[in-house]
Copies of this chain bind each other. A is one copy, B any other.
Amino acid sequence: MATPLEKARKDPESMKARILHIARRFFGEYGYHGTTTRMIAKEAGIDISTLHYHWGDKKDLYEAVIVDINKDLGQKLMAVEKRIHGLPLDQRMAIAIDAMTDYLFKFPEVSNLVLFHYFNKTRDALDLRVPEFTADIARSMGLTRDRKTTSPRAKIEVLAVMNAIHNFISGEKFFRPIVNLNRKDYISIVKETLKFVLIGSFVEREKKQKSS
């Protein structure tokens, strides 16, 4: 209730929330510099000054968007972790890939913004610290020996897995024409491929480790 962002998330009917929601999509598609406050305002059917009234300047709005999607992503990851807890690794990964893929295809701005944040600098040095889930996912995938530390190798492996998923969501516009499939078929072939590529190695390694 304290922060303006929390208020906006609470009441999704409010103008404030409406702007945030549209801003998510635009920043996701066009990036920070590629999106203008006018684009967002126009889509919302309001004047730019109204946008500034609610969110301050562009940077503030962008920051709110980043925090917002990270909150969503974190919640989703926690929910998935709950579902897969205790299952054997192959099932754990398969279910997680299915669930995350479905979720992200429903909210592609999340993937867009995550990747955008990884790969692009903004001229205006706006370095917001983004919450980090790699360690948690590594734990959930059973890649950590002890509870407290996560090895670089484990983190890199997690990044490989997460990015593989994000890529196919964000790249849909580009990849789908290449494979010439409708959306539904694209999604299902992506899921299959991700599971094929990503699960095998981890399961195989676990087998070896157990036998030794």
Q: Are A30 and B30 in contact (CB under 8 A)?
A: no
Asked whether, in the complex, the Cβ of A155 is within 8 Å of the Cβ of B170, the reply is: no
Q: Is the CB of A193 within 8 A of B153?
A: yes
* Contact of A200 (CB < 8 Å), options: B36, B180, B204: B204
The B-contacting residues of A in range 148-179, CB under 8 angstroms, are 152-153, 155-157, 159-161, 163-164, 167-168, 170-171, 173-175, 178-179
Q: How far, in whole Å, are A173 and B122 apart by their CA atoms in the complex? A: 13
Interface string of A179-212 (1 = CB under 8 A from B): 1110001000110111011111110110000000
A118 at the interface (CB under 8 A from B): yes
Instruction: Tell me the complex Cα distance, A31–B122, Å.
Output: 9
Q: Is the CB of A156 within 8 A of B34?
A: no
A117 to B132 Cα, complex, angstroms: 26
**A71 in the interface, Cβ–Cβ < 8 Å?**
no
Question: Is A5 engaged at the interface, CB distance under 8 Å to the other chain?
Answer: no
CB contacts (< 8 Å) of A199 on chain B: these are 201
A140 to B88, CA, bound (A): 35
The residue in chain B whose Cβ has the minimal distance to the Cβ of A132 is: B178
- How many identical subunits does the complex contain? 2
Bitwise, A118-151 to B at CB < 8 A (1) or not (0) is: 1111110000000010100000000000000000
Partner of A152, one of B119, B120, B189: B189
Cβ of A32 < 8 Å from any Cβ of B? yes
Given contacts A29-B121, A163-B167, contact A156 B190 (CB under 8 A): yes
The verdict on A67 contacting chain B, using a C-beta distance below 8 Å, is: no
* Chain B residues in 8 Å Cβ range of A48: none
Q: Is B121 a contact partner of A193 (Cβ separation < 8 A)? A: no
A115-B115, A197-B197 in contact; A30/B163 too (CB < 8 A)? no
A82 interface residue per 8 A CB criterion: no
The 4 closest A-B pairs by CB, nearest first: A200-B201, A152-B179, A33-B33, A33-B34
